[in-house]
Amino acid sequence: MARLSEIERIEILMIIGYGDRRRSFDQVVVIFNELHPDREPLSKSTVSKTLQGFHETGGVKDRPKSGRPVSVTNEENSLNVMLDVVENPINSTQQRAVNHNMSRYSIQKICKREKFHPYKIHMLQELSEDDFDRLHERQSHSLDTMARLLQEKAVEAIFDAGLHPTDLAGTRTGVFVGACFSESDKSWLKN
């Protein structure tokens, strides 16, 4: 059954009447359905629940829903999370969850709802002619063994393809690597 609007609930209460001029639920259903032929037919249980809700709450507004309230992903928290994604794009979902005192699922839900995709691929650097065998100044102090090996293997892959890294400068070329359980991801993202 389609949900009743507040106006329709008021109309049902008016049809029921009050005092010694009350109608039966069967009469209310017939009258309401005659007044609204284009609407899905009303049932006696709907009339009963509407009257019961009016007696319990004193009004015709929806009763509070049972279950856990949707307070974590409210508008204010959503705005704070989106602002955090824009200002700190390198933070992980786990870090955002800790910072905002939410679950990772809530952070992901907000990002998905607002069409924020924090893990899009972006070009961070370009190769120049002398970059193939030296580290960027900002990387040299934080490069660990895994990162050093990754760079060596990337350069080897370029050489194995019959190219020289300087040949790729200014072209739309990338080396894509998949890694899992890296302990150095935080140091890479900070720099």
| Cβ 42 vs Cβ 32: under 8 Å | yes
CA distance 135 to 117: 30
**pTM for this entry:** 0.38
> Which of 54, 55, 7 is closest to 35 using CA atoms?
7
- CB proximity list for 155: less than 8 A, separation 6 or greater: 132, 133, 165
Structure token digits, residue 50: 């509407």
Judged on CB neighbours under 10 Å (0-12, 13-18, 19+), 96 is buried
- Per residue of the chain (191 residues), what is the pLDDT tens digit? 678 888 999 999 999 988 888 899 999 999 999 999 998 999 999 999 998 888 888 888 887 777 666 677 788 888 998 888 888 877 888 888 888 888 888 888 888 888 876 555 555 555 555 554 555 555 555 566 677 777 778 878 888 888 877 788 778 877 777 766 655 555 556 55
| pLDDT tens by residue, 107-119 | 888 888 888 765 5
